[in-house]
Structure formats: structure tokens, C-alpha cells
Chains A and B, each alone.
Chain A
Amino acid sequence: MTKQIIVPFGPQHPVLPEPIHLDLVLEDERVVDVIPSIGYIHRGFEKLVEKREFTEYVYVAERTCGICSFIHGMTYCVGVEQIMNIEVPERADYLRTIWSEYSRLHSHLLWLGLFADSFGFENLFMNAWRIRERILDVFEQTTGGRVIQGTCKIGGVRRDIANEKLAEMSSNLDSIRKEIEDLTNVFLHDDTVRHRTRNVGVLSREDAYHLGAVGPTGRGSGVAIDLRKTGYAAYGKLNFSMVTDSCGDAYSRCLVRCKELFSSIDLIQQAIRKIPDGPIEVKVTGAPNGEFFCRAEQPRGELVHYIKGNGTKFLVRSRIRTPTLSNIPSLIKMLQGCELADVPVIVLSIDPCISCTER
């Protein structure tokens, strides 16, 4: 009769970027069951919508998360603009797309560093973050903030990027692409990395679809869903192909994210070639009256903003459903049956962003 013991994982753990608590039920080194518990970073954002006007709420929505902050602000603005039937000028759309794709580059490079840290490869972790510094420099030169950009507003964007600066960004991306090629070469071809990530945390395609896995977690198992194909911002005018893999283990999720890095660089260079001249904002009057579900593709998956207004300048409801909340059931399924030493690798392979999960 094997005895079962319960080992707590988190909230403080060296590999976790944000606090989450998992109670692991173990039988001799094998995990039998997992009980998650969240709430360490709940700040009550959805209640704050009653006290801040809908134009000021952009700043609150942006601060939901530090890694994917621009896309939160952008999704909120697109949602309110759909309710109020505002058409944003084309240049603003392209600028928003460029900043979103830089956000995605930043997030995936940060994740690559943390993933390498989860199996102890500190040198690779530091090298990934060194490339990330160059992306943060671009953010600071164009928006003024490294992590929180503060450039999205209802009706357009607040700052413009000069055309010479855009050309300089495009040529810098070529040297960044060379460095990323060297980095992903280590992740995908080194034997030590492969031993730790192959056949670890397997999720089949059926399970991934019905448990609600989104983003690279789902695409690594073959669920081909990418919200950028619906064409919000300027994505309708740019060409890109979705990256999927069929194995469903931690190695495939790493492969999907590495390939998405190159796809993002491609998208930014396409957008810089096609961006038109023109105004960057449109004047906004009145207040939103109606409801809308706005969806966007964050680096971690599908983000849903539900906004409901009743004609006054304070919204009635703003609900944010982030991809990590949807990936938690898949995480529980993946952890059942694995060894204790693989738990950090699996938890990090879904890219947990807990501050988004519990706004």
C-alpha cells in the first residue's frame, strides 16, 4: 500500500515568475494529483472600473500585467471603439501592430530565459535576456517606458514614430535576428535540453481542445487557433502563417515559441514597409452604450475583454479573461503522472502569467 504525501509547490519558488500555489499529491516521486490555489495577487481591477472614467481606465488595464501590458491596453481600446463605432486611422493601426509584435518578441525572449532557468541552464537564461534588453531599448526610444508603454488611447495612439526611426528599427531587426538564430539553435538542437524536455508534460490534441488550451500551449498539441487571423488592428493586411506542432510535449511548445519569434520579426518588417502616412488619432466624444466581447492574441494565448457601458462615462462592467486562467485545467492534466523533478519544467512550459490570471 503506497503512502501518499502532499508537497506544496509555491507560492515562493525560484522558477516561478509570479506566485501560484500547487499542492502536489505524491506517491514515491510520481505525481498523482494536483490541487491549484490562486489569489496571491488579486488586486480587484474589475471593481476599479466603477471609479475611473472609461478614458482613464486604459492606464489601469495596461497595468494588469508587466509582460503583456501593451496588448491589454490595445484590446480595451479596440473594444470601446467597436461599441462607440469609432474608426481609427490606418497609421494608428499599423503602429499598434508594430508595438504588439515587439511585445510578443519581448515576452517570448523572457520566457526562453525562464525556461532555461527551470532546468538549470543559467548561461542560456542570461543570454536570452541580453537580447531582450535590445527590445526594451526600442520600447524606451519610441514610447518612453520599458515595460509599461502608455501609448494606446481610445481613438488612436498618443505618440508617433518618425519614418527614419522606423527604417532604423527595421535594420536593427536583422542583427537581432542573427542573435536569435544562435539562441534558438541551442534550445532546439542541444542534447541536454532535449533530454529534459522531450516527452515531458504530454497533452493530446483532444484533451487540449476540450480543456480550453489556448496559445502556444494549444498550438504545440496541434490545436490551430490564432486570434490574429480575425484581422484586428492591421493584421488583416499582413501575411503570416500559424506555427503548430503535433507532439504536445514541452519540447514542442518551446519549438512553437521559437518559430513565432521569427514570424514576429517578419511581421514587423512587413508592417514597416507598408505603413502609410497620416493622422494618428481621432477625436472622441460621448460615452459607450452597449456591450462587446473583444478578443486578441497575447503572447500566451487568447485574451477576452468583455466591456459593457450604459451611456455614462463610468462603465458598468469590464471582465478580462486571460489565457493563463484557461490553461490551468490543461496544466493539471499534464502534471498527473509525471515525476517530481519535471514539475518546474512543465509549470513553466505553459508560460504562467499569474498577475494576469487574477487581475
Chain B
Amino acid sequence: MGFFEMTKTALKTVLSRPATILYPYQPAKKTGLTRGHVAYDGSKCISCSICVKKCPSQAILLNKEAKTWQIDRFRCVVCSSCVDTCPTKCLSMDTQYTAPAAAKGGEVFTITYVKPAKPEKKDEPNQ
């Protein structure tokens, strides 16, 4: 015969702290691995466009002549495929969630990478 099985749990929860967080007034719980949004460093990007091919939702657009790298935050599913496959590690995963926006569209970054000059070649002995 069990009528008051819940009493112990009910008393414990009444007398302890609330389990909820008043987000966004208090910061959300985060860990080191949390996938928030993709962060881009224009000074390291070599425009190889591997991230464009690997993105499963086609959120990244690269324009080599105009030197712009564009990501559509609404299409991005934060899967971190681009972060894992970037050869120069210019993409990283930030723990802050994407900020809310009023209109859809891409966020454009400029590429400021300058290829370092090659050292002078020695003269070849035979033609």
C-alpha cells in the first residue's frame, strides 16, 4: 500500500536550490567542447576551399577574386566538419551560441593572408 511514496523527493526539492538557470540573464552551462559557433581567422586562410566542399549544409561560400569568405549562420548546423578538415587551422569552434539576428543572410569576412615569399633558387648546373 503506497500512498506517500513521493513525500521524500518532494521535501528534498522544496528545501534545496532550484535546478533551473535563468538563461539569458545568467550565463548558460558550457564545457570546453561545447559547439557554439564557427570562428574564422582571415589572416591564416589560404583559400583552398576544402571547407566549402565538406560542409553538409552548404553554408560556406568562398570568392577567391574578391577575397571574401562568407558563412550563413542560419544554415550552419555546427557540426565542426570544417574545423576538423581545415589544413591551416584558421577555423575554430567557439563556445558562445550564435547571437539572434533579425534577417537571414551571410556573414562576410575578408581574407588577409599574404603568401610568404619563396627563398631565391640557386642556379641549376645543367640546362
Contacts and interface: CB of A to CB of B under 8 A. Distances in A.
Interface stretch (A34-42, A143-151, A351-359): A143-151
B29 A191 contact: no
A150 B79 contact: yes
A29 interface: no
A142 B13 CA distance: 28
Contact of B31 (A124, A140, A159): A140
Contacts of A148: 77
B8 to A, nearest CB: 7
A127 B35 contact: no
Given A59-B79, A60-B56, A150-B79, A144 B33 contact: yes
* Chain A interface category by residue count: 20 to 34
B66 interface: no
Contacts of B29: 137, 140
B33 A133 contact: no
Contacts of A159: 33
Contacts of B56: 52, 56, 59-60
Interface in B17-52: 19, 29, 31, 33-35
Interface in B50-87: 54, 56-57, 77-81, 84
Contacts of B8: 182
Contacts of A133: 19
A164 interface: no
A12 interface: no
Interface in A162-184: 182-183
A112 to B, nearest CB: 13
Contact of A140 (B1, B34, B80): B34
A150 B80 contact: yes
Contact of A191 (B3, B9, B80): B3
Contacts of B116: none
A206 interface: no
Given A59-B56, A133-B19, A140 B3 contact: no
A123 B29 CA distance: 24
Nearest to A190: B5
B83 to A, nearest CB: 11
B2 interface: yes
Nearest to B13: A127
A190 B33 contact: no
B19 A130 contact: yes
A158 B34 CA distance: 15
A159 B33 CA distance: 10
B114 interface: no
Contacts of B93: 144
Contacts of A192: 3
B30 to A, nearest CB: 8
B6 interface: yes
25 contacts: A56-B54, A56-B56, A56-B81, A59-B56, A59-B79, A123-B6, A123-B10, A127-B13, A140-B31, A142-B33, A143-B33, A144-B33, A144-B80, A144-B93, A145-B34, A145-B35, A150-B80, A183-B9, A185-B5, A189-B2, A189-B5, A190-B6, A191-B1, A191-B2, A192-B3
Given A52-B56, A144-B35, 19 more contacts: A59-B56, A59-B57, A60-B56, A123-B6, A123-B10, A124-B6, A130-B19, A140-B33, A142-B33, A143-B33, A144-B33, A145-B34, A150-B79, A158-B84, A182-B8, A186-B6, A189-B5, A191-B2, A192-B3
